[in-house]
Structure 1
């Protein structure tokens, strides 16, 4: 009689609110890394803040519970990457995962050439997204068309390279290589930047290494690996979480009294006296008077505080410390 294996026990999910700064490992998609972390934390709700390719590593903020409401702030944030361009070969995917489709000789890479390239690729640029990307066309990801051998016309995107550092690197996979550190606006494809640099040199290039070292103020040194997270106790994993408001910590803050807190959480605009909420702002953090009572985000226009993304009263209550004042007023 065949042995019947016991089914894997079902994970008992729970409300978890916070941000995990993950150092995404090589080979996993952003979603695979997210699902692993979600399972380890037993979280009910989770989302990430912009994808990294499977062949990329580095800073990947993961949002849980109430923090998912503010993930757009990170999606819009500027980012910094470190990459190695392997010169002389162009691939189907613009990185080391693809097949080589063109090989050309590599000229001598001089300091003068690197200086010229740095100037050429710094500032506002128009960039055509790669076919091997998750951008959608008629509800279908571009990489699905690419795998079928189809080339889809794409509109150029306007991006900005804020800073670019270039230096000669050594890599056994190519006759010549260049290391770059690039700070850029959202929506920048480093694979495409690498290809464009290779074309400017005249020999072609593809990425051999890609690591995100900063996004929206979060840096790689703050991150934890999945392996380290897996080795921790459940309490230690929870201690790794940053508060949801860490996603909007760079913005001004407003504190409301109990009455205004309750009305704000109901989605009502709050009219203030001149300057009460500070100057007009596209985004502010909003707090109640209780310690750690983060209520959500808003914008300020003409002395009016206008709600944007709100926590539920239950989320606020769950996030308050045990020593907080009674939260009944927030529930009205």
Structure 2
């Protein structure tokens, strides 16, 4: 089995749990995932099976989330999974007061990742250090948020704001919730998170574990083609002789308006062979095999 799967991750599953369960369902060990989701989060978790695991690094990085932020509560993990650090009524908070602050989180912004995250520092994951009670100097990181849209406002002692967020890879929505609460002065934490887009895969085309098991038992389950999530990359087609040489790992001289560093590569039968890297030496353009998938002979 080789291809991708758009999994709708259930709540309280880690990304590692999902991979382990799919390994049992498909009876194969070669499965990986793109873009980790916290246990509290649900939604799109891109899964690679077989040869697709070698292509995860080339998938598009844009992501989208539907997030619910609860005001008046601050937790150790910046979501409702963690210990409550402080709590105060935010009954008088209004959407009109919050809205102007949302603009501060759009564009190229700096954020501190949550202390309880999988980011590594000195070879150890931050959550491992945090659980030991160690004081952690967490470096800021640059991330890009392209849009924030308000979906719902729920008043109460601990009011909740639901928003859509479109962002680049590496963005922590928990950090946005925490930092928004700090700006407003009430504190806040992430209450719910549903990822609606990741690696070019949308929530509307995702499958639950139950869907996958039912389709597999009925003989109707199919993985997403290896090259389908890579449509954002330019393509290059080779002749028969060039295809054979490329498949053996040899470099190929090409002519044309090739300027991008990475290409989806197809053989003379329009079969996807893998990923090429473009090298320009003076005026000569060369494509070098970067990922060779070794298509079986027909």
**TM superposition score category, shorter chain reference:** over 0.9
Q: Deviations over 1:106-150 (max 9, x none)?
A: 264445434312211111111111110111223221111111222
Q: TM-score, normalised by structure 1?
A: 0.83
How far apart are the structure 2 equivalents of 1:236 and 1:226?
15
| Residue 214 of structure 1 pairs with residue 192 of structure 2 | no
Question: 1:189 offset after TM fit, Å?
Answer: 0.7
Match of 1:256 in 2: 238
How far apart are the structure 1 equivalents of 2:28 and 2:226?
14
Match of 2:22 in 1: 37
Q: TM-score, normalised by structure 2?
A: 0.92
Distance 1:191 1:234, change over 3 A: same
Aligned runs of 1:1-332 on 2, under 5 Å?
Answer: 16-74=1-59, 77-106=61-90, 108-170=92-154, 175-234=158-217, 236=219, 238-239=221-222, 241-273=223-255, 275=256, 278-291=257-270, 293-302=271-280, 303-311=285-293, 313=294, 316-317=295-296, 327=298
> Is the partner of 2:261 in helix, strand or coil?
strand
Question: 1:195 offset after TM fit, Å?
Answer: 0.2
Question: 1:236 offset after TM fit, Å?
Answer: 3.4
Q: Deviations over 1:91-115 (max 9, x none)?
A: 1111111111112342644454343
Range with bigger deviation, 224-233 or 177-186: 224-233
Report which of the two structures shows the higher radius of gyration computed on alpha carbons: 1
How far apart are the structure 2 equivalents of 1:66 and 1:216?
17
Q: Deviations over 1:2-39 (max 9, x none)?
A: xxxxxxxxxxxxxx101011000111101111111122
How far apart are the structure 2 equivalents of 1:154 and 1:267?
42
Distance 1:245 1:167, change over 3 A: closer
Q: Which runs of 5+ in 2 are unaligned?
A: none
Q: How many pairs does the alignment contain? A: 294
Match of 1:3 in 2: none
Whichever structure has more strand as a proportion of its residues is: 2
How far apart are the structure 2 equivalents of 1:95 and 1:165?
20
Q: Which runs of 5+ in 1 are unaligned?
A: 1-15, 318-325, 328-332
User: Do 2:201 and 2:229's aligned partners in 1 also have CA atoms closer than 8 Å?
Assistant: no
How far apart are the structure 2 equivalents of 1:71 and 1:63?
7
User: Do 1:41 and 1:237's aligned partners in 2 also have CA atoms closer than 8 Å?
Assistant: no
